Structure 1
Amino acid sequence: MHMNDSSARHIHETFAIGIVEQGKTFFNYRNEAHFAYFGSVVVINPGDVHANGSLLQESCTYRMMYPSNALLQQAMCKMTGEGQKIPLFSNPIIQDNLLAQKIYKFHQDLETPPHLLESEAILIEILTQLFGRYADEKMAFNLIGKENRAVGQIKDYLQANYTANVSLKQLSQITHLSPFHLTRVFCREVGLPPHAYLTQLRVVQAKKLLSQNWEISQVAVETGFTHQSHLNRHFKRIMGVTPRQYKLMSKNVQD
């Protein structure tokens, strides 16, 4: 949810998790004043009374999400392997640029046709980092064992289905590991989370098609990117040049 209004004192039934996107704001939380500004991560516990507003008449915009308690409890079980109670937060304001960037990207992904694997992986990273580092009660995550077979299964599946909008649920069903655990296992063994590995596969295939003088818009469709701008962004990040530049370089080499 994208918000920019001040609010009266109120409570939420669920956690409120988000970032300040623009401006400065203050929170009256547990009868204490807390200040947040651009890039601050905000976490409000369920049932805690709070109010917020902009400072110095400066416009303030923030993005919030409200995951259900049932969803978080399910995530806790998968992360820890036991029915651990959802921990709370004493401090509602967290300064963590990497975490803020992940929350912002997750919101952006929800505004466009989502790549399920990437969005789900980012949500897992957000919850792991947030509750693992900043909750009052530290979480004991499942230990990672030798799941080489599961990693091989995931790689084979992604290589065969790189154009599909693959979800963590699908990979979980294939490997019989929880989405959280398989993401950690895959990242440890491969060096990338599943969604980033899938993007690499798509870029490799895009290079082949561009070398064959395919139209860039058609390459985006054939390699599983939502649209051409997604291909451009990921291709430039990985290869250091745009698809158009790569296509021209390939043509010059062939000539």
Structure 2
Amino acid sequence: MLDHPQIRAWSPALAGIAEVFHARITDHVYPMHTHDSWTLLIVDDGMVRYDLDRHEHGALDQLVTLLPPHVPHNGRSVTPTGFRKRVVYLDSSQLEDSLIGLAVDSPVLEDPLLRQRIHQLHGSLEHAGDELEAESRLALVTERLRDHLQGNVADRSPVRNATIAYRLRDLLDAKFVEGISLQDASEALHVHPAHLVRVFSREFGMGPHQYLTSRRVDMARKLLLSGMPPRLVAAATGFYDQSHFNRHFKRTLGTSPGRYARSAPTDFAQTPI
């Protein structure tokens, strides 16, 4: 008796990603098929064997597999226990069709940093409200994929990079409640999105999404201690919803917003640490 695959699939609210697909496959054998998007695959357990352009390849953990659009491929488990995989399907806004031939020649990438970044991208795609984080991680992933396919592009000067980083920080400071997409910041500063993320992280030791979240949490602390209810604080500080607010507040301070608010003495306002 064949086991049914265990599947999760969704379309995230993020330009550039058509679909996210997580699956545990045991008996299913994928026939030859094609996609109109790029298939970016990591395997968490087991191994997949597939044919691409009449050549056999293997996808296993610690490696990254990039299958180009419009090129037929199949897939099957190497072992009886099956495999577990995570996939993001990237549209042509992320990787140009001109790179298809290069991807056919080298679909398997041995790059631990790239794999880690893809893993982090999947994590950020799990939660609504983390779109800036997902957008930032996607920009770094696609830049590194392009580097693998066609070679690295020289970085800009350190002085220029620092200036860009501080200009982005000013932009985030001005819009940390309503938020700003990486694409909008890129257009405002006339800098490629991946370069923005890279120089900001290098200059400040955190990504733009982490900086934005820290500004929101810092403002939330003041509002909580002023007596504003947590549900209103979440909206006032730009979080997607109460769950989004609770998750990031606890990740930053190690306690929930409600407990933080109740920690203040009742007879006078407490100054945040």
TM-score grouping bracket, smaller chain normalisation? 0.7 to 0.9
Contact 2:49–2:56 at 8 Å: present in 1 too?
no
**What's the TM-score once normalised by structure 1's chain length?**
0.76
Shift in Å at residue 20 of structure 1?
3.0
The DSSP-based 3-state class of the residue aligned with 2:86 is strand
Deviates more, 1:178-187 or 1:58-67: 58-67
TM-score, normalization by structure 2 = 0.71
Matches within 5 A, 1:93-104: 93-94=108-109, 99-100=114-115, 102-104=117-119
Match of 2:50 in 1: 27
Task: Measure the CA separation in 2 of the matches of 1:10 and 1:151.
Answer: 44
Shift of 1:18: 2.3
Question: Aligned equivalents of 1:191 and 1:163: distance in 2?
Answer: 21
Paired residue for 1:2?
21
> Residue in 2 aligned with 1:120?
135
Q: CA deviation at 1:198?
A: 0.5
SS at match of 1:221: helix
Q: Is the 8 A contact 2:34 2:71 kept in 1?
A: yes
- Residue 49 of structure 1: how far off its partner (Å): 4.1
Give the letter aligned to residue 55 of structure 2: N
Residue 228 (structure 1) aligned with residue 251 (structure 2): no
Matching of residues 90-169 of structure 1 within 5 Å: 92-94=107-109, 99-100=114-115, 102-107=117-122, 109-110=124-125, 112-132=127-147, 135=148, 137-147=150-160, 148-169=162-183
Q: List alignment gaps of at least 5 residues for structure 2.
A: 1-19
Q: Residue in 1 aligned with 2:211?
A: 197
Extract unaligned runs of 5+ from structure 1.
75-83
Q: String of CA shifts for 1:92-122, please: whole Å, max 9, x gaps.
A: 4556666445434534554653444222111
Deviation of 1:52 after TM superposition, in Å, equals 1.1
Specify whether residues 7 and 196 from structure 1 end up closer, same or farther in structure 2 by C-alpha distance, changes over 3 A only.
same
1:234 aligns to what SS in structure 2? helix
> Are residue 213 (structure 1) and residue 227 (structure 2) matched?
yes
Which amino acid in the other structure matches residue 180 of structure 2? V
| Paired AA for residue 165 in structure 1 | G
Native 8 Å contact 1:99 1:129 kept in 2: yes
C-alpha distance in 1 between matches for 2:197 and 2:105: 29
Matched, 1:36 2:56: no
- Residue identity in the other structure for 2:167: Q
Matched pairs, number: 243
In structure 1, how many angstroms separate the alpha carbons of the residues matched to 2:143 and 2:155? 12
* Greater mean deviation of Cα atoms: 161-170 or 24-33: 24-33
Alpha-carbon distance, 1:230 to partner: 1.8
Residue 197 of structure 1, CA deviation: 0.9
Amino acid at match of 2:169: K
Is the deviation greater in 13-22 or in 103-112? 103-112
The alpha-carbon deviation at position 141 of structure 1 amounts to 3.9
Deviation at 1:69, TM superposition (A): 3.5
C-alpha deviation, 1:36, in angstroms? 2.2
Amino acid at match of 1:142: D
Shift of 1:166: 0.9
CA-atom RMSD, angstroms? Answer: 3.3
The residue aligned with 1:186 is 200
SS in 1 for 2:49: strand
Distance 2:221 2:157 in 1: 35
Distance of aligned partners of 1:73 and 1:26 in 2 relative to their CA distance in 1, 3 Å threshold:
closer
Q: Which deviates the most, 182-191 or 15-24?
A: 15-24
Report Cα offsets for 1:135-185 as digits up to 9, x if no partner: 254322432442344433322222222111311222123322222222222
